[in-house]
Structure 1
Amino acid sequence: MKLSNLTLSTPYLSLDPIFFHEIAPTPLKNPRLISANLKAAKLLNSTLELHHEELENILNGTFMLKGSRPYAMCYAGHQFGYYVQRLGDGRAINLGSVNGLNLQLKGSGITRYSRQGDGRAVLRSSIREYLMSEAMHALSIPTSRALAIIGSDEKVAREQWERGAIVLRLSPSWIRFGSFEYFFHTNKHKELESLADFLLQESFPHLVGVEEAYLKMYGEIVMRTAELMAQWQSVGFNHGVMNTDNMSAIGITIDYGPFAFMDTFESGYICNHTDSGGRYSYDNQPRIGYWNLERLAHALSPLITTEKLQLELEKYGNYFTTKLMTLLRDKLGLDTPHEKDSDLLRVLFTLMENGRIDMTPFFRTLSQYDGNREKLLLLTLAPNQLNEWLDRYDERLALNSSSVEERHQQMLRTNPKYVLKNYILQEAIDAAEKDDFTLVNNLLMLAQNPYDEHPDFERYAGITPQQHTNLKLSCSS
């Protein structure tokens, strides 16, 4: 089945017109397909075929899928802690939904919510989002997906003149914490309730008709968000812009702007150079997740009593800690919990920071640890500290019921060999700006198979070159 034969629906447009702006995409000049993602295509239809020219036209807005009524969504949000009363899709246009997924073009032109923006996305940021959403999915971290990306000859002004691009993104929902904030702060409580009902139908159908459905939905959002924060922390992922308008109401990772997989471990790492105060630093992400959920609870207070919302919110810490400890035990190959595990992990992360250890290759090397410490000690500037920790680790492993071989197999399935660090993505961007898209497609394959061996890309599995370590990026990244 061809993509052009899909029929979309637009249930969001059944809401009051205040929720959206119907607007057609604005085509780019001389579009060209950079990459298409066959794995994502299967989400829309298991037999879906992707064709070069067809994809270019759909992404560029010159071919409209049957049933599509393009629109931008209205929402508000707290940006770096300050409330902004109306934001909305300033450079994203929704096409409609099929098979439980909402199709959205990012970089497709000006909408009512663009403010002073141009409605465009540049090639570098589009490549980063296209590849990163697939990388996160392969790591089993809930995320939006990406179907395809086009480049163009369109000139877009950022720090310098760049070329425009468009990504076709997929998500079960594009509703955000900020969507609820908009209707709460404008005292449109009827519309607030309509939005809650829509989200229930779209993403929490098992709660429709259940007593206290709104409260139970909020409780699930708390749990999903807490567990998502734990998943980010476990792989060293720094989102960079955790504004409430970038927080998914279904607990998935969305809106990839300035982000990073950490290189050498640095608990206070900030990947966004705009974030001068470190509000969205790596170690602050769990706290900000909670803070954002407080804002959502406040927005839902016309529908649910504050006391009941607070009781659900207070479960956040337990959800987060339980999930994080499970993930970290898996990373260490510990098959049963032990009361001293938290201290073992605390010491490990301290020595990773003191020893300037690159997180991903360290855990991957640890996945093959059999008592020989030579390879591990080469990864740190503090070998004595690591040796002391390994003594404790050996004692802890003795409590395992699994064999060494079973532990190795489990850890190799848990600790990726490859994550898309920013210097790796930059190599693909540099080539793409010269119209060479080979590395973009190679990295897509690498992103989708992060636990496998890829001899041709072995250099990407090692320690990040010092000059590229823990860089900061702009919001246009």
Structure 2
Amino acid sequence: MKLDELKVECDYFDFDEKFYQKVEPQALYDAYLISYSKQACDLISLDYSECKTQEFVDFVNGKKILKGSIPYSQAYAGHQFGYYVPQLGDGRAINFGSVDGWHLQTKGAGLTKYSRQGDGRAVLRSSIREYIMSEAMHALGIPTTRALAIIGSNHPVHRSYEEEETAAIVLRMSPSWIRIGTFEYFAKQKDTKHLKQLLDYVIDNSYSHLKNLDYSYERFYFELVDKTAKLMSQWMAYGFMHGVMNTDNMSVAGLTIDYGPYAFMDNFEMMCICNHTDVEGRYSYNNQPHIAKWNLEVLAYALKDVCDVNKLIEYLQTFMSANQKHYLELMNKRLGLDDNLSGDSNLNLVVSLLEALEVSKCDYNCFFWELTNINSLEDFSNVLDIVPIRQPLEEWFEKYKDTCKKQNQDFESMKKLMKKTNPKYVIKNYMLQESIEKAKEGDFTLVNDLLEIAQSPFDEHKEFERYSKPTPQEHANLQLSCSS
């Protein structure tokens, strides 16, 4: 389908105008295409050839508005690091409307009335990071927003205490951009009519099977609790850290949204903090399920005027047990174990593994990739070769072998299960930084190479074999800023 043939629908204007702003995007000058995702094109049936045209660059840049599109930004509130902020919103994001159920949004498209002290821009480095990571998460089976394209420019951007950079724009796609903070903003208005309208909108977009059912609002909440519990288990099992789990960064569709100072774990650390702004560790790796539950409790009380809040809070108590169940299921797969035989022994095995990995200073995801490639349950030498401190894992392997024997595990079946679950490549921050440094010099080949690796992490990429190895120690578990 050609760009001009896309059928764009704008369904947000039934709301009162205090909940959004119609806005004209502010185009970057000297804009050019850096990369586009064929997989994302397929989601909206867009011909790949269209992405190579100047018209497409103009579209991402906001200079070309498609038929049916009316650009706007959304208002929302949010708890940031635990403190309520009544007025936030899309400070640098502009929505174009939806195509085939995918809501198109540009990040870095200029000022809105929600920009506060910001400039409405996104820098090249943060744009590259979000573009690649959203596609990487999808390839791992983790619910996420997607990215269609990224454009660069010669447009200068200034960040405090940081060097002058150039602006970029990512065209993001999501089934929904509604956040827990959106509900907080509506609830703060004490306007039950619009709060119900927002619930109906979210159900129509993301939970259409609940339409016209009794107690549909409560059912939506219950399903979101379940989805978020599973999402957190996936983050934890793959060592992903979001970095800023404010309520305005939490999707009510159960997706990973708003990639900022995120990271995939390098060396395993239970209390790892990837955001240097998070001085107290509120959003540390191990805290993520607890914060997700806290955010869902905030949502429950935002809905108290339209739902039975006691029922919501009662259901929320299932969150941690559901999260642990999903987490153990995925970790069993990562270890090649039969989930039907799982129980306290497998849970204890996983807990002892995490302890051994931390003491061993072992690269988290590389451990699982090397485990996938063992030749027998008697030979773990290839795994131990990547471990700085071997003894803790040597002792753990004895427990692992014992568990496999007790459960009568078939070795080839174990290998097959692990190969489906453990990617060879996980996108680390040092890889992204390499692509960013090249991009600053006008070389975007590594951006496109990393996109390919991100979208096919279980495949061989011989030229980039080194990316399947442990992160170099000087780059391991570095903290990032929110402008990342």
Q: What range is the shorter-chain TM-score in?
A: over 0.9
CA contact (8 A) 2:2 2:46 kept: no
| Letter of the 2:390 counterpart | P
Please identify, of 77-86 and 49-58, the stretch whose mean Cα deviation from structure 2 is larger.
49-58
> Structure 2 stretches of 5 or more lacking a match?
none
Which residue in 2 is equivalent to 1:349? 354
Please identify, of 392-401 and 214-223, the stretch whose mean Cα deviation from structure 2 is larger.
392-401
Matched, 1:187 2:166: no
CA deviation after TM superposition for structure 1 residue 277, in Å: 0.6
Matched, 1:263 2:263: no
Which residue in 1 is equivalent to 2:35? 35
Q: Secondary structure at the match of 2:12?
A: helix
CA deviation after TM superposition for structure 1 residue 391, in Å: 1.1
CA deviation after TM superposition for structure 1 residue 17, in Å: 1.2
Work out which of the residue numbers 422, 425, 434 in structure 1 matches 2:441. 434
Q: Secondary structure at the match of 1:11?
A: coil
Which residue in 1 is equivalent to 2:463? 456
Question: Which structure 2 residues correspond to residues 52-71 of structure 1 after superposition, within 5 A?
Answer: 52=52, 53-71=54-72
Deviations 1:95-136 (A, max 9, x none): 000111100010000001001110000000000000000000
Superposition TM-score, scaled by structure 1 size: 0.98
Quick one: distance in 2 between partners of 1:402 and 1:2?
A: 52
Which residue in 1 is equivalent to 2:474? 467
Please identify, of 392-401 and 430-439, the stretch whose mean Cα deviation from structure 2 is larger.
392-401
Matched, 1:326 2:329: yes
CA contact (8 A) 1:41 1:49 kept: no
| Letter of the 1:305 counterpart | D
Quick one: distance in 2 between partners of 1:318 and 1:236?
A: 19
CA deviation after TM superposition for structure 1 residue 392, in Å: 1.2
Which residue in 2 is equivalent to 1:362? 367
Work out which of the residue numbers 344, 351, 360 in structure 2 matches 1:339. 344
Aligned residues: 477
Q: CA RMSD in A?
A: 1.2
Which residue in 2 is equivalent to 1:125? 126
> Structure 1 stretches of 5 or more lacking a match?
none
Matched, 1:296 2:299: yes
Q: Secondary structure at the match of 2:50?
A: coil
Q: Secondary structure at the match of 1:9?
A: coil
Quick one: distance in 2 between partners of 1:44 and 1:277?
A: 42
Q: Secondary structure at the match of 2:292?
A: helix
Quick one: distance in 2 between partners of 1:447 and 1:182?
A: 35
CA contact (8 A) 2:371 2:380 kept: no
Identity rate, percent: 50
Which residue in 1 is equivalent to 2:410? 403
| Letter of the 1:384 counterpart | Q
Which residue in 1 is equivalent to 2:74? 73
CA deviation after TM superposition for structure 1 residue 25, in Å: 0.6
Q: Secondary structure at the match of 2:76?
A: coil
User: For the structure 1 residues 46 and 161, does the alpha-carbon distance in structure 2 shift closer, same or farther, using more than 3 Å as the test?
Assistant: closer
Which residue in 1 is equivalent to 2:204? 201
Work out which of the residue numbers 420, 426, 433 in structure 2 matches 1:413. 420
User: For the structure 1 residues 50 and 406, does the alpha-carbon distance in structure 2 shift closer, same or farther, using more than 3 Å as the test?
Assistant: farther
Quick one: distance in 1 between partners of 2:304 and 2:373?
A: 51
Which residue in 2 is equivalent to 1:107? 108
Quick one: distance in 2 between partners of 1:48 and 1:298?
A: 45
User: For the structure 1 residues 249 and 363, does the alpha-carbon distance in structure 2 shift closer, same or farther, using more than 3 Å as the test?
Assistant: same
Quick one: distance in 2 between partners of 1:97 and 1:341?
A: 44
Deviations 1:168-201 (A, max 9, x none): 0000000000000011123222211111111111
| Letter of the 2:73 counterpart | A
CA deviation after TM superposition for structure 1 residue 51, in Å: 2.9
Structure 1: which 4+ aligned runs deviate by more than 6 Å? none
| Letter of the 2:34 counterpart | I
Superposition TM-score, scaled by structure 2 size: 0.97
Quick one: distance in 2 between partners of 1:311 and 1:459?
A: 49
Deviations 1:337-377 (A, max 9, x none): 13311111111000100010101110011112212121122
CA contact (8 A) 1:153 1:163 kept: yes
Please identify, of 448-457 and 38-47, the stretch whose mean Cα deviation from structure 2 is larger.
38-47
Quick one: distance in 2 between partners of 1:378 and 1:105?
A: 44
